[in-house]
A and B are shown apart, each in its own frame.
Chain A
């Protein structure tokens, strides 16, 4: 039996592990990837103060700190199922079975695709896959590619590819349909970019947010989407184009690019062939919460948080005894916010293990999470704070419902 088990070795899980271990708990961390760090590993961007945020270095720092504190890592180990019986969680992996009274799910996020005809061809990959290949494995995803889907994440990764000497021929839109919806409409995409422009990642930050609003965004907006697009970091951003097809015999050979109107409709006859050897699909991230679902945790759809999130409170507790959540499983935000949530979760788990006098520390940690959110340079949804409030309101409603049903049960004499 371990005092605490953490599934997911990303920024949230690692920070929680360090926090629990500092409080004297025996901690096990399980992750199916070969290295600790999660999505943090791939991150590489320049902060406004000129320092580079190097995900590999940050991951190693956290990992080494955890190892020094005696945290037991089981990497390359996939979890299949979790179950609770009499207050003890059982974690089934492909190798061993673990038991703990205190379990943290820090499983992060998965990528939501935008489908394009031909997207099963080898050479088509998610934009996150290209990021990991380039920055973590140091292998080029290809010599020249296009990225389909314009959002904060894809803009940041386009810049990272360029930095590594990989040519990005175009950062452009998918064709609008029932799946891609607004992601294929130039007007909507431009609006979503304007919303986050004041705190967007490096390629924007580099120019200063003021300059960007006045120059870059004006170029995009006032000139009403020049057909050739505008260049950012030498990467053409083409909001008036959409990929209608990825072609190739056995692997990617190119894409068909068409002009679209402001509503995303294809201008017929405008199609041209762009030869490329890889394509990135960028539909954004959504919380990966399968294990919380298997455990029976209630879920809510909160668009601002990126999708369905398991119910939780500010202390990172789920409604299930001994089950905690932290990081992107609770909503899509940057690594620094995830780490701050991980610290709160770790403190809550130490409290659960019987450690007293942690209330002050937990309160401070919650406050620090909010501050981190306020200062974040990467914001995936403009209304993130609204999303956070929504889930807390759901928590309150759930708790008062539960109390009411307990009261009515006792009155009615139902056991």
Chain B
């Protein structure tokens, strides 16, 4: 396996290359990069890959105002089974 094919988001199997290419093309924020590639949108809620996606976005983006943000997290932060949703 080459470095470009290496997985960054384990849940959605998003590769380093896909993230790099998308970040370079759109020069977008980490949040937009997530929405475009689905990295961080899988089962674990981005807990595993968030820091990596942030770094890739920061490399390409004009994402200067990174120090003060409201982090976008959607509840539930742990997956809930359909069974439990009913209750």
Contact = CB atoms under 8 A, between A and B. Distances in A.
Contact of A177 (B3, B70, B74, B75): B3
A298 to B, nearest CB: 6
Given A290-B45, A293-B70, A181 B55 contact: yes
B70 A299 contact: yes
B50 to A, nearest CB: 8
B5 interface: yes
Which of A116, A294, A298 has the most chain B CB atoms closer than 10 A to its own CB? A294
A200 to B, nearest CB: 23
Interface string A128-141: 00000000000000
Interface string B61-74: 00000111111111
Nearest to B80: A80
B25 interface: no
Contacts of A293: 70-73
A98 interface: no
Main secondary structure of the interface of B (DSSP, over half): loop
Nearest to A175: B3
Contacts of B47: 110, 288, 290
B10 to A, nearest CB: 6
A81 interface: yes
Interface residues on B, range: 20 to 34
Which of A32, A94, A179, A293 has the most chain B CB atoms closer than 10 A to its own CB? A179
Contacts of A307: 51
B12 to A, nearest CB: 12
Nearest to B84: A94
A92 B59 CA distance: 37
A299 B76 CA distance: 19
16 contacts: A113-B48, A115-B6, A115-B7, A117-B1, A117-B3, A118-B1, A119-B7, A120-B7, A179-B8, A179-B16, A283-B51, A290-B45, A294-B73, A294-B74, A302-B67, A308-B71
Given A118-B6, A294-B75, A307-B51, 17 more contacts: A80-B80, A113-B48, A117-B3, A117-B5, A120-B7, A120-B10, A175-B3, A177-B16, A178-B55, A179-B16, A179-B55, A283-B51, A290-B47, A296-B70, A298-B68, A301-B66, A301-B69
